[in-house]
Structure 1
Amino acid sequence: MPRLIYIHGYVEDPSIFDNLAPLLPTNSVLKLNLQDEFARWNPDDKTVNVSTLAQYLAKTHQIGPGDVVIGHSMGGWIAANLKAQTGCRAVLISSYTDVKKVITFTRNIGLVRLLVHWGIVQSKGFASYALKKYPFDESRALHKSLIGNMTNQPRRFVYQQLRVLLAPFPLPHAVPDLRIHTRPDNVLRFPDEPFHETPGDHFNLVFHPEAVAAPILKWLEITASQ
């Protein structure tokens, strides 16, 4: 059985996988905490993008073809880049391989840097706006806790995550092995490529873990027999 490596999304932490991970093989598991990874890496922020982060993670954790990287949201974006660089397999949950699928009011990294530097991204006003506009009752409490995470995270780490989400770089040339999505999602537009559809919203892995686990287990069984 391959090692399963979990990578969480923007302002999340590894606990986002707490409901899903017990439904998948547990003999060899690594859950990455990106805040800890960035603290150890301590890069020049101008060089940070999803590709340079994937390079760092691949080297630090010896990620290779025998591994399966399961990423949620931004974590799936990282997983796809790890596959392009290392040949590992990539499972994307509510994620993307096209930055244009991210629903955001700007992709201008210079403007993003200023908004973070001025404290606007982590301001009470921005948090209040995000909470008021959130459309899904099922995950409303979780979304509120993640907004709280964002306001409390170090400003530099918030900017580093936004660079991973949005900073331009050459697109990966590897096709993810599995895409799992919902159609109701206010964070991402669903992909043009085929995907397994589940109930719920962007946080389907938390509220519908069995539906998310099912295609992963089937895929793992098929790949093990090949």
Structure 2
Amino acid sequence: MPDRIFLIHGYVEDPTIFDKLVPLLPPADYVPVNLADEFLRWQPINSVDARQVAQYLTNQYKITAEDTVIGHSMGGWIGIHIKQLTGAAVVQISTWTDQEKIKFPTHNLSVLRFFLKTGLTQSRFLTSFFLKQYPFDESTELYAHLLDNANKMSRLYIWQQLQTLFAKVSPLTVQPDLRIHARADNIVAPPDETFVEVPGDHFSLVFHAELVAEPIRTIIGNRPITDIW
């Protein structure tokens, strides 16, 4: 079975977030994971957390230690839990291993669920507020597009993502193989651990793709991946 590189996107994103990055990486068997499709396929009945999402994806795609995961934001949080379960190599871009690094007004799921049920989370008012507060001209258009996407998503899917972000999980005993982060990121604070610093903001993989790709090429090149040519 060929070794694979899984691409897991972030909150209210989709796999197109990797479109500028992948062409700069070595040819390989890239597997874009669309979490909206996966949750529809899975249809979990009870509450979820990042470890459960990682377990589902591990089972669904039969992920092993021979595979690699590249995750952006929430996707990197899921990715590190895939490594916890399987030993797969993980590259985290603009993400975390400590949920306290997420810069959000509240991490309280009861409060977040209340806002979601009342419609405030996907309201024009809150969308406008967040957009006005956004400080980066470079990625404003992308950020606005993601806010618009969020307003079109089902409340159930938004709730599943919020749980993936903020539900408490068992402590990690593994670390990512590579952390890439922009220090100016206003969505996720930089790691306390060693990381590769890149320019830009939370969306450096789009607007500074070459600089993000460079350290990833090294990681991929150092792995015994048989299907890279």
Same fold (TM over 0.5): yes
Which letter maps to 2:53? L
1:158-212 CA distance string (max 9 Å, x none)? 0100000001111221110000000011101100000001111100000011000
Distance in 2, Cα, partners of 1:92 & 1:102? 14
Which letter maps to 2:44? P
Q: Superposed, which structure 2 residues align to 1:207-222 within 5 Å?
A: 207-222=207-222
Residue 17 of structure 1: aligned partner: 18
Which letter maps to 1:197? E
Q: Superposed, which structure 2 residues align to 1:2-151 within 5 Å?
A: 2-46=3-47, 48-151=48-151
Which letter maps to 1:52? Q
TM-score, normalising length: structure 1: 0.96
Aligned partners of 1:91 and 1:178 also within 8 Å? yes
Residue 157 of structure 2 is aligned to residue 157 of structure 1: yes
SS in 2 for 1:120: coil
Residue 170 of structure 2: aligned partner: 170
TM-score, normalising length: structure 2: 0.95
Offset of residue 24 of structure 1? 1.1
108-117 or 28-37, which deviates more: 108-117
* Identity value in percent: 46
Structure 2 residue runs of 5 or longer lacking an equivalent are: none
Aligned partners of 1:45 and 1:160 also within 8 Å? no
Distance in 1, Cα, partners of 2:142 & 2:46? 29
CA RMSD of aligned residues (A): 1.2
Runs of 4+ in 1 over 6 A off after TM superposition: none
Aligned residues: 224
Structure 1 residue runs of 5 or longer lacking an equivalent are: none
Residue 199 of structure 1: aligned partner: 199
Distance in 2, Cα, partners of 1:134 & 1:26? 35
Distance in 2, Cα, partners of 1:77 & 1:27? 23
Aligned partners of 1:8 and 1:14 also within 8 Å? yes
